[in-house]
């Protein structure tokens, strides 16, 4: 299917994959796809990328998969498929965060949060809490302090255990100085100590 594009020099073979020779060529090819067809095309590509992959292989290809499926979220109606996409975005967010790509990590984590439901706080509490904690940290690291504070408030309200509430307080105390909010860091530390009777 790509032989003609290869002969024309628009794409090149790189091992088992084929890549556009330049971003402009990629953009021009993408512009030829009718806008109304793009989401379904992204969904189809994302699903094909996932087909037959083991869990480990899916983790290795996570960025390619979510970058396709995230452009088709409005077409993904099945709860199980939405949950899978949420988990893949969570994984991509954690991997991007580990590479200090804060903005990308925030984007993936925000997408995972958008795909979560209220019932996830009951049925998948640990994963949902961890997701929102990671997102709060990324919001803070990209300078979205108000969004981070809203997430900290949510986490404090939803935390089921002292351990989880401590994790929230510890993160807040660690991040407030990043924004020069030293007073808030001290106040949060004192509040946390009082909460746990120390």
pTM: 0.86
Average pLDDT of every residue of the chain: 91
Question: What pLDDT does residue 155 have?
Answer: 94
- Give the whole-angstrom CA distance, residue 24 versus residue 11: 12
Using the predicted structure, report yes or no on whether residue 14 has a pLDDT greater than 90. no
pLDDT reported for residue 174: 85
5 and 17 Cβ atoms separated by less than 8 Å:
no
Query: Please, which residues bridge with residue 18 across strands?
Result: 13
Tokens of 112: 């995972």
- What confidence tier does 179 reach under pLDDT thresholds 50, 70, 90? confident
Strands 17-20 and 11-14: antiparallel
Looking at residues 28-43, what average pLDDT do you find? Answer: 94
Structure tokens, 168: 């929230």
Per-residue pLDDT, averaged over 102-127, amounts to 96
- Indicate whether 132 pLDDT > 70: yes
């Amino acid at each position: 299917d790509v032989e003609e594009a290869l002969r024309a020099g628009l794409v090149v073979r790189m091992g088992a994959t084929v890549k556009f020779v330049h971003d402009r060529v990629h953009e021009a090819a993408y512009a030829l796809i009718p806008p109304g067809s793009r989401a379904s095309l992204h969904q189809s590509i994302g699903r094909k990328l996932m087909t037959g992959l083991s869990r480990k292989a899916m983790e290795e290809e996570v960025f390619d998969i979510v970058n396709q499926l995230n452009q088709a979220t409005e077409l993904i109606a099945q709860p199980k498929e939405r949950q899978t996409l949420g988990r893949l975005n969570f994984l991509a967010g954690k991997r991007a965060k580990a590479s200090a790509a804060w903005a990308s990590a925030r984007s993936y984590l925000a997408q995972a949060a958008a795909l979560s439901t209220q019932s996830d706080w009951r049925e998948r509490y640990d994963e949902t809490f961890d997701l929102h904690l990671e997102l709060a940290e990324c919001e803070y690291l990209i300078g979205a302090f108000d969004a981070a504070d809203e997430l900290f408030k949510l986490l404090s309200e939803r935390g089921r255990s002292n351990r989880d509430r401590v994790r929230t307080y510890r993160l807040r105390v660690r991040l407030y100085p990043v924004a020069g909010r030293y007073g808030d860091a001290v106040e949060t530390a004192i509040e946390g100590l009082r909460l746990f009777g120390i």
